[in-house]
Amino acid sequence: MNQIELKYGCNPNQKPSRIYMADGSELPVTVLNGRPGYINFLDALNSWQLVKELKEALGMPCAASFKHVSPTSAALGLKLSDRLKRSCFVDDIEGLDDSPLACAYARARGTDRMSSYGDFIALSDRCDITTAKLIKREVSDGVIAPSYDEEALELLKSKKKGNYNIIQIDENYECVPIETKMVYGITFEQGHNFMKISDDLFNDIVTQNKDLPDEAKRDLIVSLITLKYTQSNSVCYAYDGQAIGVGAGQQSRIHCTRLSGNKADTWFLRMHDKVLNLPFRKELGRADRDNVIDAYINRNEEDVCENWEKYFTYRPDPLTQSEIREYLDSLSGVSLGSDAFFPFGDNIERAHRSGVSYVAQPGGSIRDDNVIKTCDQYDMVMCFTGIRLFHH
């Protein structure tokens, strides 16, 4: 098949819509179920590139959760701690520890659950039944993977009353070196971004502290590959083999750092004892719990603690600002990547408040000395990669 007709373009009034190979060759994707739309395929193809590259770089199964052409998270298939399982609402999934792919998606989906609501999923490996069971019970638009176990495929086909979007991609497909894009009837052309992300990028350590452990290198690779497929400007916090906060599409870099830092803080705070032990009513669904947790963490007490009967079996104690600060101040070992240079040290100041110890950024600002000095103030390790990772 050399073309696929889509429901419509970005909006229902934008018809006709299709994807096709300009040279008339066969498409590398097959729709196994559903009828994906224009944005679905943008998410699918961008997220597939991310997980494919992440697996090639780190040699592990991985998954990504995408919304509106940016990842909410990407993660490696590492086992989850008991606290993280509870935070991600996956402590009841049987066989989770035996499926690295399911662990990867549990992490990716569990990072920013509010943003991942209605996501598009990318899997680096053959979808197994455990991963399919996890996908089946969450609200999402579709999934792309190189293949599916028969049992997993049948389960996914039953999702959304049989209309769930399931895409299979040829894992050996390689794109052409020159890509084009049309805007307002004008065609743009550029070389595809084949830049490889590896720990070779971390050799230029510009701070006094030059101790960069292997786990930090891994997390910086996760961060930078995630940024490579995130709408710019973008900043990404990573920890324990996953992106824990992605700030995408902001015009100001400090706003990227704040946005992604706040998301990273929420990810950590979901594992706070008070949050893990919130006395939810049994009938309250996962999506509603996510909304309540977000309000509780952000101290919206009028919605949560003051109206506790809607959500809880008894009124919980609020999570105070001093408790939040004490908890976050105990954190360290977080990695931070940026798709372009940090122009001011205020980005480092904000990153420090979320436990960042390791930074990778291109360098090249006229204020690099100020950014380095701020890192040294907090004994951080910072690398200048020399590469920009804008994506539009």
Which of 141, 174, 207 delimits the end of a domain? 174
DSSP state of 23: T
Do 259 and 143 share a structural domain?
no
Catalytic annotation present for 392: yes
Look at residue 305 and tell me if it is in a domain.
yes
Look at residue 298 and tell me if it is in a domain.
yes
What average pLDDT score do residues 78-84 get? 98
Which of 174, 206, 229 delimits the end of a domain? 174
Which structural domain, as residue segments, surrounds residue 312?
A: 273-318
Strand partners, 123: 63
Do 42 and 72 share a structural domain?
yes
Which of 174, 208, 227 delimits the end of a domain? 174
Look at residue 34 and tell me if it is in a domain.
yes
Query: pLDDT, tens digit, for every residue of 379-390?
Result: 999 999 999 999
Query: pLDDT, tens digit, for every residue of 337-391?
Result: 999 999 999 999 999 999 999 999 999 999 999 999 999 999 999 999 999 999 9
| List 133, 233, 263, 352, catalytic entry | 233
| Percent of the chain with pLDDT strictly greater than 70 | 99
Do 377 and 252 share a structural domain?
yes
Name every residue whose Cβ is closer than 8 Å to that of residue 290 and which is 6 or more positions away in sequence: 113, 114, 117
Catalytic annotation present for 233: yes
Do 152 and 139 share a structural domain?
yes
Do 199 and 146 share a structural domain?
no
Do 377 and 238 share a structural domain?
yes
Number of domains in the chain: 3
- How many Å apart are CA 251 and CA 385, to the nearest integer? 22
Q: What is the pLDDT of residue 305?
A: 72
- How many Å apart are CA 240 and CA 247, to the nearest integer? 18
Give the DSSP H/E element, type plus range, for residue 30. Answer: strand 29-33
Comparing CA positions, the residue from 33, 28, 20, 34 lying closest to residue 48 is 28
Query: pLDDT, tens digit, for every residue of 257-309?
Result: 999 999 999 999 999 999 999 999 999 999 999 999 999 998 765 667 777 88
**Tokens matching residue 173:** 């497909």
Do 262 and 279 share a structural domain?
no
What average pLDDT score do residues 49-55 get? 98
| Cβ neighbour number for residue 349 with a 10 Å cutoff | 14
Look at residue 90 and tell me if it is in a domain.
yes
Q: What is the pLDDT of residue 302?
A: 60
Comparing CA positions, the residue from 328, 305, 326 lying closest to residue 317 is 305
Q: What is the pLDDT of residue 306?
A: 75
CATH number at residue 222: 3.40.140.20
| pLDDT band with cut points at 50, 70 and 90 for residue 313 | very high
Query: pLDDT, tens digit, for every residue of 186-225?
Result: 999 999 999 999 999 999 999 999 999 999 999 999 999 9
Do 278 and 263 share a structural domain?
no
Do 247 and 146 share a structural domain?
no
Write phi, then psi, for 131 (nearest 5 degrees): -65, -40
What average pLDDT score do residues 145-160 get? 98
Q: What is the pLDDT of residue 304?
A: 76
Strand partners, 238: 243, 335
Do 44 and 127 share a structural domain?
yes
Q: How does the average pLDDT of the chain come out, rounded? A: 95
Rg of the chain taking only CA atoms, in angstroms: 21
Strand partners, 261: none
Q: What is the pLDDT of residue 300?
A: 61
Among 148-157, 268-277, 318-327, the range scoring the smallest mean pLDDT is 318-327
| pLDDT band with cut points at 50, 70 and 90 for residue 1 | confident
| List 55, 67, 133, 352, catalytic entry | 67
Look at residue 179 and tell me if it is in a domain.
no
Q: What is the pLDDT of residue 2?
A: 84
Query: pLDDT, tens digit, for every residue of 227-236?
Result: 999 999 999 9
Look at residue 391 and tell me if it is in a domain.
no
Write phi, then psi, for 363 (nearest 5 degrees): 75, 175
Look at residue 180 and tell me if it is in a domain.
no
Look at residue 289 and tell me if it is in a domain.
yes
Do 362 and 236 share a structural domain?
yes
Do 230 and 138 share a structural domain?
no
Q: What is the pLDDT of residue 318?
A: 87
| List 68, 79, 255, 373, catalytic entry | 68
